[in-house]
Structure 1
Amino acid sequence: MGNVIFSIIWLIILIFIAFWVAGIAAGIYILILPLTVCIEALTGLTDFLLSVIQFPRYCAQGMMEGRGFN
């Protein structure tokens, strides 16, 4: 296990930032995804939103490893 302080900081980021940001991004992603069939230019946006939706996983992984912000 890594540094406990970094694990606590990752937990705080996970609870207060990552869940909220991912939730908002998921709503926008659901609304825009069907439009990518008609408008190919939205594919880049949906790819970005998908990576934002995975932000809680990144935070949880950092928390479990005790990894710093490097």
Structure 2
Amino acid sequence: MGNIIYSLVWLIVLIFISFWIAGIAAGFYIIILPFTVCIEGLSGLTDFLLSVIQFPRYCAKGMVDGTGFN
């Protein structure tokens, strides 16, 4: 069991920050993804957006483990 304070901080970050950032990134990801077929240079951007979309998972993992911001 990790530190309960870190778990609460991760919960706050999850609810108030990561859902919003991931939602905005998902919108851009959906719009840009079809263009990667024609423009190969956009694949790096879509890979980055996909990692941003997975930010809530990272926050939830930190919350469950009770780990710090390492």
Aligned to 1:40: 40
* Alignment map for 1:1-70 (pairs within 5 Å): 1-70=1-70
Count of aligned pairs = 70
Q: What whole-Å deviation, never above 9, does each CA across 1:8-50 have from its counterpart, x for those lacking one?
A: 0000000000000000000000000000001000000000000
- The alignment yields a C-alpha RMSD, in angstroms, of 0.4
Q: Distance in 2 between matches of 1:4 and 1:25?
A: 29
1:59 is matched by which residue type in structure 2?
C
Q: Distance in 1 between matches of 2:19 and 2:3?
A: 23
Q: Normalising by the residue count of structure 2, what TM-score does the alignment of the two structures yield? A: 0.99
Give the drift of 1:56.
Answer: 0.0
Secondary structure (helix, strand or coil) at the match of 1:32 reads helix
